[in-house]
Amino acid sequence: MGKRIEREKRVVKLMIQKYCSNFHNSEILCAECADLLNYSVKHLLACPFAENKPACSACTIHCYSKSYKNRIRQVMRFSGPKMIFEHPKDTIYYFFDKLRYRVNSVPKNEII
């Protein structure tokens, strides 16, 4: 497994832990958040783009079911802005990866 996937797994775990500790008042992940983490990691490992994966928000394939997509959005909306202060290196990598994918991708309206 590559560095990119490992970093994505670490970031999603940090974000879910932050969310869970704030909303569920738990030092360890509650069952609901542990389920979301397992689901997210499973989909990261199965990503067809592998190391060249875009940020999920910019992806053309939507692999999360609707309920999990809504849950991870809540987590990211809460935890995302706090990541720059608590985990700046990971946040910078995220924005770099997001920018790199946009630069290297073909605009949707130009796909043949």
Is residue 91 one of the residues assigned to a domain? yes
pTM of the predicted model as reported, rounded to 2 decimal places: 0.82
Tell me: pLDDT of 25 over 90: no
Tell me: pLDDT of 71 over 60: yes
Is residue 19 one of the residues assigned to a domain? yes
Domain count for the chain: 1
For residue 36, the enclosing domain spans: 3-104
Q: Which amino acid is at 69?
A: K
2/92: higher pLDDT: 92
Q: What is the mean pLDDT of residues 4-28?
A: 91
Q: What is the per-residue burial (b if ≥16 Cβ within 10 Å, else e) of 66-80?
A: eeeeebbeebbeebe
Is residue 40 one of the residues assigned to a domain? yes
